[in-house]
Copies of this chain bind each other. A is one copy, B any other.
Amino acid sequence: MYKINENYLKLPGSYLFATTGRKIREFAEANPDKKVISLGIGDVTLPLAPVVIDTLHSAVDEMGKAETFKGYAPDLGYEFLRQAIADNDYKARGADISIDEIFISDGAKSDSGNIGDIFDRDNKIAVCDPVYPVYVDTNAMAGRTGVYLEEQQKWSNVVYMPCTAENGFAPEIPEEEPDIIYLCFPNNPTGSTIKKKELQAWVDHALKTGAVIIYDAAYEAYISEEDVPHTIYECQGAKACAIELKSFSKNAGFTGTRLGYAVVPKELKCNGVSLNSLWARRHGTKFNGAPYIIQKAGAAVYTPEGREQTMNQVNYYMENARIIREGLREAGYTVSGGVNAPYIWLQTPDKMTSWEFFDHLLEKANVAGTPGSGFGPSGEGYFRLTAFGSYENTLEAVERIRKM
Contact = CB atoms under 8 A, between A and B. Distances in A.
Interface of A: 1-6, 8-9, 11, 15, 18, 41, 43-48, 50, 53, 56-57, 60-61, 63-66, 69-73, 106-107, 109-110, 113-114, 117-123, 133-134, 137-138, 141, 179-180, 209-212, 253, 255-258, 270-271, 273, 275, 278, 281-282, 284-294, 390
Contacts of A293: 56, 257, 293
A244 to B, nearest CB: 16
A121 B4 CA distance: 9
B45 A64 contact: no
Given A2-B211, A48-B64, A138-B286, 8 more contacts: A5-B117, A5-B121, A15-B284, A43-B72, A56-B63, A134-B286, A141-B281, A256-B291
A257 B66 contact: no
Contact of A281 (B11, B120, B288): B11
26 contacts: A2-B119, A2-B210, A2-B212, A2-B270, A4-B119, A4-B120, A4-B270, A4-B271, A4-B273, A5-B119, A8-B278, A8-B281, A8-B282, A18-B284, A41-B72, A47-B69, A48-B64, A48-B69, A63-B256, A72-B256, A106-B258, A106-B290, A109-B286, A113-B286, A137-B285, A141-B286
B179 A256 contact: no
A4 B118 contact: yes
A109 to B, nearest CB: 5
A285 B134 contact: yes
B56 A120 contact: no
Query: How many copies of this chain sit in the oligomeric assembly?
Result: 2
Contacts of A106: 106, 258, 287-288, 290
Contacts of A290: 106, 258
A5 B277 CA distance: 12
B123 A278 contact: no
Nearest to A260: B288
Contacts of A270: 1-4
A134 B123 CA distance: 26
Nearest to A125: B2
Contacts of A44: 71
A5 B118 contact: yes
A323 to B, nearest CB: 19
A43 B3 CA distance: 35
Given A119-B5, A286-B134, A65 B45 contact: no
A45 B70 CA distance: 8
Contact of A294 (B45, B50, B291): B291
Q: Which 6 A-B pairs have the closest CB atoms?
A: A113-B286, A1-B210, A2-B179, A3-B120, A43-B71, A53-B64
Nearest to A287: B110
Nearest to A6: B120
Given A60-B53, A257-B293, A3 B119 contact: yes
B117 A141 contact: yes
A326 B3 CA distance: 46
A260 to B, nearest CB: 9
Nearest to A388: B71
Contacts of A113: 285-287
A45 B71 CA distance: 7
A300 to B, nearest CB: 12
A45 B290 CA distance: 18
A329 to B, nearest CB: 28
Contacts of A210: 1-2
A386 to B, nearest CB: 12
Contacts of A287: 106, 109-110, 113
